Amino acid sequence: MRRLIFSLLLCAAALVAAPTYCDAPLPVAVALREISALRQQSIPRVEVQQQIRARFEQLIAQYPNDLLAQRAFQREAGLSRTELIARFKKRYDSNPKDALSVYLYALSQSGENTPEASRLMEEALRLDPNMAWPHLAIAYNAANSRPPDPEKTLRHHEAFVKLCPATFEYSPNIAFLQSTSTGLQGSVSAALRSKLAADPNPVRWDAYEYLWRIEFKLTPFPEHAALRKKVAADVARLRNSVPEPDLKLLQVLREGARSSGDTAAEQKLNSEIDRRFPESQEAWWLLLTRWKKEHPSASGTEDMRSLFTVSEEWVRRWPRNANVHFYRFQAVLHLTDIPPAVALAEINKSIAVFRSDPEMAGNFPYALLAANFFLKRGMELETIPTLVQEARNAAQAARLEHQQRRTDTEDPKFMASMESGARQAEISAVEILARAYRQLHRPEQAAALEKQLFDVGATLPEEQALALRASGHIAALAGRKLDAFTYWDRWLASGPPQNVPAHKEVIASIQSEMQTLWAALGGSPAAWNLRERNITQASPTAWQAAEDNSIPSLKLLDIHGKQWSAEELAGKTVLVNLWATWCGPCRAEHAELQKLHDQVKNRKDIAIVTLNADMDLSSVQPYLDENKYTFPVLVNGQYKNVSLPTNYILDPKGVARWKSTGYDAAFGWVDRTLSLLEKTK
């Protein structure tokens, strides 16, 4: 008991003053871990966030001068940036010469006024040169500036490591994992392994997960087998030290078992998680992962029927979990043979849960999807205008929330994509209303819908194409048959994808309506058939002309230890594929990519290389072995702000000529891509 009291007194002393603060003292670390565990509750996220906020307020009231408690509060308590800045400016104004107050105010400014935040971080360092954490913030801001400043990023990472050779904290270890300096990573991994071995407290052992990732990144692939044995020994030692680990430590042990290749141990840990923490989010995630593995396509009618069946038990077990209802909702919308009364009850049950979760309501268009389902089934038509308005309100709230949280370092292209997505959702909402009012025989609504569509302001080609389709429905609602035919004809000429099932269904429906209008306008069947034969549709492909040539470097090692370079590929047309093992669309695409590789692997004029974007490289070789993939895989690249999968086609001079983003599921990808490779000479 005396020893325990003495240890706690030492921890309390550390809270008051520490020459170089690298880790949270044990009481703070325990509290932060408890707060993080609140996220495992299967209740609406708004309620979870309220609990987290309340617990954080208690923590920082108890430890007002603990840097990591205050730092976590800023990241996780859910305050708006305006609230954070006002709160920490008040502290700064009361003591502008206190390094911690300057640092916390600077941290609140990051993303709102990043140059000023970096200036204040430098001021905090001037006031206290032994404070490591401003270095991490300056490095992050430099890495995310436009353009990035890798030299400044590395300089401040090295300064952090000089003050804190190793830390148990998440953020610096993830930053070091992404670093381009193997020397820095080697120094950190060696120091962290020693530090973990010397610390007997399981609260600190979460850092093993970051350690293993860094070690796998540093270790050449041919030596991964030896590293897996080392990780397995870590897992065995940790497990023997803690007979009944908490959920977080069980997750860490499972990650170690997976990294070491011990599938049996991984499954045993999954079973323990389900048995000991049956109501947790993690337990549900395990069931979902198992179902997805058994249904890899997860799109056909039989898959959805299975999902509908299994999700019935999920809903009973986690009745207020929005993620559970997300999957049941999708299954209900897909199946056409569910009795209307059953479908309506299930949809209403899911919508009630979605409404209790503002994050889900703002990011998942459940109201539009439900309205579209009702239209297709010819049911609940009178509720559709209310659902559409609900969707608009949720989308508007989500946009305002994002605007409040957006940072001044965000990619303009990403922001433009977000804005375009919002406009497309608005256009879809108008189209659904037009279709609903057609079935309700309310032509007087046409003028209002035309104004709503005009107010959206479609600018990009994909937005304008959707607006043409919506305009056709508005014209049909108003009884303007020739206008409706013309709008839809122009939409078809824009080349909507024909081989994606959802698009195929819409195209068939529009073409059927057009054929009816053709006859009503006096057109003959013979002329219609002639028109159909002469329509030329754009070929279904995701390939687009590359707008820039900023492809990732190819000067990398592959999984066999071979050094690649751009010079080696000179004179060849090259397909470059960016992917990760955790990326579902990447995994779907790889079966096709392997077929293409098999066709061209012996050619002298065409080459295929893939660049892996995993931070956890322990996953790569098992994934390739399991699927028997033989295409070249380059590793240890740095890919920020890149969607996955992304493909480039380079001409023989190494210039990117074509680019595609996302998995193109349309039939014939291999032939279309090979044809493009042949033409890019």
pLDDT of residue 232: 97
Q: What is the mean pLDDT of the chain?
A: 88
> What percentage of the chain carries pLDDT values higher than 70?
91
Q: Is the pLDDT score of 497 beyond 70?
A: no
Q: Is the pLDDT score of 394 beyond 60?
A: yes
**Mean predicted confidence (pLDDT) in 526-533:** 75
Q: Is the pLDDT score of 541 beyond 60?
A: no
Structure tokens at 141: 């801001």
Q: How far apart are CA 203 and CA 220, in angstroms?
A: 31
pLDDT digits (tens, 9 = 90+) for 627-681: 999 999 988 656 556 778 889 999 998 888 899 888 877 668 898 899 999 988 7
Q: Is the pLDDT score of 121 beyond 60?
A: yes
The SS3 of residue 159 is helix
Structure tokens at 28: 């703070």
pLDDT of residue 526: 84
Residue 206 exposed, middle or buried by CB count within 10 Å (0-12, 13-18, 19+): buried
pLDDT band per the 50, 70, 90 thresholds, residue 147: confident
Q: Is the pLDDT score of 83 beyond 50?
A: yes
**Mean predicted confidence (pLDDT) in 345-371:** 89
Closest residue by Cα to residue 663 from 589, 580, 587, 583? 589
Residue 71 exposed, middle or buried by CB count within 10 Å (0-12, 13-18, 19+): buried
pLDDT band per the 50, 70, 90 thresholds, residue 403: low
Neighbours of 405 (CB within 10 A): 12
pLDDT band per the 50, 70, 90 thresholds, residue 12: very low
Q: How far apart are CA 2 and CA 6, in angstroms?
A: 6
pLDDT digits (tens, 9 = 90+) for 425-474: 889 999 999 999 999 999 999 999 999 999 888 888 888 999 999 999 99
Separation of CA 505 from chain center: 28
> What percentage of the chain carries pLDDT values higher than 90?
63
Q: Is the pLDDT score of 532 beyond 70?
A: no
Q: What is the DSSP letter of 402?
A: H
pLDDT of residue 503: 74
How many CA atoms lie within 13 Å of 308's alpha carbon, on the beta-carbon side? 20
Q: Is the pLDDT score of 3 beyond 50?
A: no
pLDDT band per the 50, 70, 90 thresholds, residue 558: confident
Q: Is the pLDDT score of 231 beyond 90?
A: yes
pLDDT of residue 499: 54
**Mean predicted confidence (pLDDT) in 557-573:** 82
**Mean predicted confidence (pLDDT) in 576-597:** 90
Q: How far apart are CA 207 and CA 23, in angstroms?
A: 12
pLDDT of residue 639: 59
pLDDT band per the 50, 70, 90 thresholds, residue 169: very high
In this structure, the chain runs to a length of: 681
Q: Is the pLDDT score of 518 beyond 50?
A: yes
Q: Is the pLDDT score of 555 beyond 80?
A: no
For residue 92, give Cα distances in angstroms to 86, 124, 627: 10, 11, 56
pLDDT digits (tens, 9 = 90+) for 195-226: 999 999 999 999 999 999 999 999 998 899 99
pLDDT digits (tens, 9 = 90+) for 240-254: 999 899 999 999 999
Which amino acid is present at 16?
A: V
> For tokens 């605007």, what's the residue?
403
**Mean predicted confidence (pLDDT) in 92-104:** 96
pLDDT of residue 664: 77
pLDDT of residue 17: 38
**Mean predicted confidence (pLDDT) in 2-7:** 38
pLDDT of residue 653: 87
pLDDT of residue 379: 93
**Distance between terminal CA atoms of the chain?**
78
Structure tokens at 199: 């610390």
Q: Per-residue DSSP letters for 234-246?
A: HHHHHHHH-SS--
Q: What is the DSSP letter of 563?
A: B
The mean-pLDDT minimum among 47-51, 183-187, 366-370, 526-530 falls in 526-530
678 — phi, psi (to 5°)? -65, -35
How many CA atoms lie within 13 Å of 217's alpha carbon, on the beta-carbon side? 29
Q: Is the pLDDT score of 10 beyond 60?
A: no
Neighbours of 626 (CB within 10 A): 8
pLDDT of residue 102: 97
